[in-house]
Chain A
Amino acid sequence: MSSKTGSIGRVFRVMRGKPLGVLGGLLILILVTTALLAPVLAPYDPVKMKSIDRLQAPSLNHPLGTDDFGRDILSRVIYGARISMLLGLGAVAISTLLATIIGILSGYYGGRIDTVLQRCIDTLMAFPGFVVLLTIMAMLGQGLGSVILALGIGGTAGNARIIRSAVLAIRENQYLEVARATGCQDWRIITRHILPNIAAPIMVVVTLGLGVAVLAESSLSFLGFGVPPPTPSWGAMLSGSGRTYMIQAPWMAVFPGIAISLAVFGFNMLGDALRDLLDPKLRGGPQ
């Protein structure tokens, strides 16, 4: 099965069958657009502090209010979209890249390589995800880059397993046997036949991974390991001053919280729908 472009009509039919997925997709579209157009959309500089304007409730001047530094929350939420996208894409890029390499090597070549790599994967998976995150963050110190790296590495093991099973499923395909028999080089087989066929599970993994990254960042922030200030990340806004001033200035936490929820919701809905569409190739868990 090669790529899945169909006529516009088919696309619409698919969309109608999966309304939740469409909803998710829309949310993600809004998120991406906001992230891209942040400098245009944001009314104020998100890091400029102005003590006079501290802790203002939402008003015409500041539609989502201001925080304890006097910074405009709407602008911070908008730029936060950028940070979330950066974070998510960075983390997912790393984990998908690593997972794909490992998964293909493991699944395609099998044998010794597979065994060794599987041992490594098992080793990594033996550590609860959060433990891995904390350890990596402690090694790398704070910073956006560290968080991305940590989330990326943390997500690799599980994804590698998934991709490996997908590769295994295709490997037995007769048409590959033919390709090999006719003397096609390995890397060619991989790029021309395997990769396109695992594009589907990769897409699902990426979409769901984005949601996980956004959520994980907020948890890391809560524990003090997130993106350092004054960078406006939703997680930091929610878990930091947002909690401190929860009663006095609830808008500081409510809006980033809604943003996180909508983003994670969107990614999950979309990922879900994709997975359903591409079922039964992918279901995760033991085969």
Chain B
Amino acid sequence: MSRYVLRRLILLLPTMILVTLLVFSIIRLLPGDIVTLMMSEQGYASDKAVLERMLGLDQPFYRQYVSYLGKVLQGDLGVSFWTKEPVLDEILRRLPVSLELAVLAMFFGLLIAVPTGIFSAVRQDTWLDYLFRTGAIGGLSVPGFWMATVVIVSASIWWQWVPPMRYTPFARDPVRNLSQLLLPAFILGLALSASVMRMTRSMVLEVLREDYVRTAWAKGLPESVVIARHVLKNAMIPVVTVMGLQLSALLGGTVIMESIFVLPGMGKFLLDAITWRDYPVIQGINLFLATSIILLNLVIDVVYGFLDPRIRFG
């Protein structure tokens, strides 16, 4: 087992290098480079070469890349071209917001998906099953920004209330913090719950067919006990795995909710950086996200291995 982990960790390195290389190259392929952009608002035309030198963009590609890689290994992600703030600091400042949103979204997702999934499986092919499955898919068929819009606008008209548009950290004022985050988290969770519910349902169905469960039925144990004690534990493993994978998608995919609910998270930060060709920020965020996700996947695979003794790592 530890050999597997070690091997995965070693394989991590080339992946990481590929990631940084990919990010570094791609953003330089974006049309409308930053030098022209920064110069474009000037009162008088001036020296492009001087600006390039200032931003360190006059070096050949490989040299820029190597120097960047060197700094990264020391934990320095550079400073933003536009704000001169260290990228890592800015990321860490925004990370808690995205993380809290993602975690709350997963919570809601699970809250909705697991009970409905179990129910659906246990009452397979009844109208309740169809109802839940329809509802689950329905929740993911309506674009999130639309749901958010309708809710916010209606609330503002009927009750003259909107969620607070100013972010307060949870530690400072939990009530305010939650009242801002609950709605977007719920909407994200709704979209999430569809796939998790289906997964839960199919896992439960599979487990229900297992022999040891049949034995429990035969023994006359009440349904709820059977479910709680036997089914859940085993069905949950892949579900938890999928949720972990969803976390990765969530971390980058919260741009829209962040825009609407005025949350200073990573999604919006990245979008702005792309729009303004803030290379160090784009690189930094991508690197950060990619690393987190790769590590996360590794952890999930290991945990999954632990939980399910049937899995063999070869």
> Which residue numbers of A lie inside 8 Å of B, CB to CB?
17, 19-20, 119-120, 122-123, 125-131, 134-135, 138-139, 141, 211, 215, 218-219, 222-223, 235, 238-239, 243, 246-247, 253, 257, 260-262, 264-265, 268-269, 272, 276, 279, 283-286
Task: Check if B271 is an interface residue, CB within 8 A of chain A.
Answer: yes
Q: How large is the interface on B (under 10, 10 to 19, 20 to 34, 35 or more residues)?
A: 35 or more
Which A residue sits closest to B32, measured CB to CB? A138
Complex contacts, B256 vs chain A, CB 8 Å: 219, 222-223
Pairwise interchain contact A126-B146, C-beta atoms closer than 8 A: no
**Pairs A-B, 6 closest by C-beta atoms:** A128-B252, A126-B290, A264-B141, A261-B141, A265-B141, A130-B253
**Can you list 27 residue pairs at the A/B interface with Cβ under 8 Å?**
A17-B125, A20-B130, A20-B133, A123-B18, A128-B248, A130-B253, A131-B270, A131-B289, A135-B26, A135-B27, A135-B274, A138-B275, A215-B140, A215-B143, A219-B143, A223-B271, A238-B146, A246-B149, A246-B153, A260-B141, A264-B140, A265-B138, A268-B194, A269-B134, A272-B133, A279-B202, A283-B199
Complex contacts, B301 vs chain A, CB 8 Å: 286
Complex contacts, B19 vs chain A, CB 8 Å: 123, 126-127
Which B residue sits closest to A235, measured CB to CB? B143
Smallest Cβ distance from A208 to chain B, in angstroms?
10
Pairwise interchain contact A139-B252, C-beta atoms closer than 8 A: no
Smallest Cβ distance from A227 to chain B, in angstroms?
15
Which A residue sits closest to B29, measured CB to CB? A139
Pairwise interchain contact B249-A129, C-beta atoms closer than 8 A: yes
A246 to B154, CA, bound (A): 11
Which B residue sits closest to A271, measured CB to CB? B137
Smallest Cβ distance from B35 to chain A, in angstroms?
17
Complex contacts, B250 vs chain A, CB 8 Å: 128
Smallest Cβ distance from A139 to chain B, in angstroms?
6
Which B residue sits closest to A272, measured CB to CB? B198
Smallest Cβ distance from B20 to chain A, in angstroms?
10
How many cross-chain pairs have Cβ atoms below 8 Å apart between A and B?
Answer: 138
| Cross-chain contact of B238 among A119, A247, A269, A285 (Cβ < 8 A) | A285
Complex contacts, A20 vs chain B, CB 8 Å: 130, 133-134
Smallest Cβ distance from A112 to chain B, in angstroms?
13
Query: Chain A binding site: helix, strand, loop or mixed by DSSP?
Result: helix
B284-313 contacts to A, CB under 8 A, are: 286, 289-291, 293-294, 300-301, 304
Task: Check if B117 is an interface residue, CB within 8 A of chain A.
Answer: no
A257 to B250, CA, bound (A): 23
Complex contacts, A272 vs chain B, CB 8 Å: 133, 137, 198
Complex contacts, B133 vs chain A, CB 8 Å: 20, 272
Pairwise interchain contact A223-B255, C-beta atoms closer than 8 A: yes
Given contacts A128-B251, A138-B30, contact A286 B294 (CB under 8 A): no
Which B residue sits closest to A126, measured CB to CB? B290
Given contacts A139-B29, A219-B143, A238-B143, contact A123 B22 (CB under 8 A): yes
Complex contacts, A141 vs chain B, CB 8 Å: 31
A218 to B146, CA, bound (A): 10
Pairwise interchain contact B294-A128, C-beta atoms closer than 8 A: no
Which B residue sits closest to A24, measured CB to CB? B137
Pairwise interchain contact A119-B11, C-beta atoms closer than 8 A: yes
Which A residue sits closest to B289, measured CB to CB? A128
A20 to B267, CA, bound (A): 35
A138 to B28, CA, bound (A): 11
Pairwise interchain contact B18-A129, C-beta atoms closer than 8 A: no
A211 to B191, CA, bound (A): 13
Pairwise interchain contact B145-A219, C-beta atoms closer than 8 A: yes
Given contacts A130-B267, A261-B141, contact A19 B130 (CB under 8 A): yes
Smallest Cβ distance from A136 to chain B, in angstroms?
9
Complex contacts, B245 vs chain A, CB 8 Å: 285
Mask of B127-145 contacts with A, CB within 8 angstroms, 1/0: 0001001100110111111
Complex contacts, B60 vs chain A, CB 8 Å: none
Most chain B C-beta atoms within 10 Å of own C-beta, residue among A19, A119, A223:
A223
| Cross-chain contact of B15 among A119, A261, A284 (Cβ < 8 A) | A119
Pairwise interchain contact B202-A283, C-beta atoms closer than 8 A: yes
